[in-house]
Structure 1
Amino acid sequence: MSCSAKRDPNGTWHIQYRWTDWTGTKKKSQKRGFKTRKEAEECFVTTLWIWSVAFLVSGLLFVIQIKKLLSKMEKGEVLCTN
C-alpha cells in the first residue's frame, strides 16, 4: 500500500492511497480537506490500523468457524459427502 500527501490549491491537504484487494484488483482512494500535512498522514495511519484490525478479526472468525465445523464432524453431527 502506498500513500502520498499533497497540498491543494486552496491551502488544504489531501491524501491518496493505493492498494490491492483480495481479488488482486488495484484500488485507489483519497481523502481531502485536512488543515495540515500531519493530519493527513495521521488519517492514513489510522486507516491502516482499522484495516489491519478488520483483517485480523475476519481471520479469527474464520478459524473459529472451522474449529466448530471440525468439532461437529468429530461428533458425527456433520456428514461429509463427495
Structure 2
Amino acid sequence: MSSPIHTSVAQVIDDLFGVPANALHDDVELQDGLQLDSLSVIELQVAIEDTFDIRFDEADTADVTTYGRLVAAVSDALDRKARSA
C-alpha cells in the first residue's frame, strides 16, 4: 500500500514528466528507468522541496538514484523538519 509520501512524490513526477504512478516502484532508477537527465533530476528535487516545504542538502541526495531512495529522502527530511519544529 502506498504511503501519502509515495503518492505525493508520484504526483510530482507525473506532473513534471508524465510518468504515471503505476510505473513507479522502489527500485526504478531515476535516470535509466525514468529516462531523467541530470537537469531533470534537479528540477524534480526543486519541485519536491517546494511541494513538501523541505530543503535537501547534498548529503540528503548523494545516494538518491532510485524512486525508493527518493521517497526515503523525503521522509527523512520531513522527520527532521518535524523534530526541529
TM-score (norm 2): 0.36
The structure where strand makes up a greater share of residues is 1
TM-score (norm 1): 0.37
Q: Give the structure, 1 or 2, with the largest relative contact order (CA under 8 Å, sep 6 or more).
A: 2
The structure where helix makes up a greater share of residues is 2
